[in-house]
Structure 1
Amino acid sequence: MITSISDFIILKKIKSKDMAAVIDWFDTRKSKFYKIGWAYLKNHHDVEDVFHNAIIKVHEKIGQLKEDRYFESWVTSIFINECRSVYRKRKQKEMTSPLETLDSDPFETRLEVLTDLDKLDEKYKEIIILKYLKGYSQEEIAVMLTLPVGTVKSRLYRGLIMLRKISGEGENNELS
């Protein structure tokens, strides 16, 4: 709900497609949204991804807001839907990415994962390295590589699937 003149001014800027205004609005409410995200995801990186995705969606879809007084509720529903989406995707994967356990695995396992990573096409390998080894968000990767965020997401997803297959093939070969 818009409760002050400053909220009205920020909403006016957001409606004029001012990305900085969207980011400022989220920054002033970061704690509230972080708690919501944490309740769904219990993972800092996933919550950060949801923040980035929600900011982009609010910026892109602000024209769909019917009444200004429902702005915060509208944004909250976008944020929650993003949380649910990330949660569903995580559940669908069932297996964890071999890269997510690099820090806790013994040296041999880390070496195997890095060797398997070298077997991927460069376009997948680069995005996986930036995301999991360097810690960049999908949006940051998109900016760095001048790609749409959707392309980064799909290459990351496909690359991880390929990496799992490569890792699985190695295990099967050892057993035969």
Structure 2
Amino acid sequence: MEHDLDRVKRAIGGDRYALQELLHAEKSKLYRMAFAYVRNEDEAVEIFQQTVLKCIESIHQLKKPEYFSTWLTRICINESLSVKRKGKRLNLMIELLKQPGHQDFSGTLAHGMDVKGALEALPDKYKTALMLRFYQDLSIQDIANVLDCPIGTVKTNIHRGLSSLKSKLKGVYEDESGKRFN
């Protein structure tokens, strides 16, 4: 989400009203991100609150105002992963959007296995990359900025995550022609 750079600069300079407006514009995205990680309303609200608190405490450290939204998303991801590390239940819900060259997993269940269960079995780096790409609809470049890693790493994590999902779900979902995907 593009923000008025002047407003971001004012927030960095200490204008609490400008920061409040920026956070208001981001609140639903941050809440959805947190909820996708924990699938628990109370925990998602707590993660959102911690994200806002950390933002307020450290907005003055933001070096590039044009990356405000990416910076804030990264704080939310870190808070969500922190909840997981503390032993909280992680239960991702992600809807894979149709993307050329990738299987659409929106078909019917054949053997009781579901996408959610397959996602839970993925390593965090794959879950996070897939979630940012398909749930938040971020570009590869934006994901690299959020995760502070090279574009090639993001592409690799998305590809490996989708490949892993495909192999875990092999034979469970059928494509539109009725063939099971390989």
TM-score, normalized by length of structure 2?
A: 0.43
Which one has the largest radius of gyration?
A: 1
The structure carrying a bigger helix percent of its residues is 1
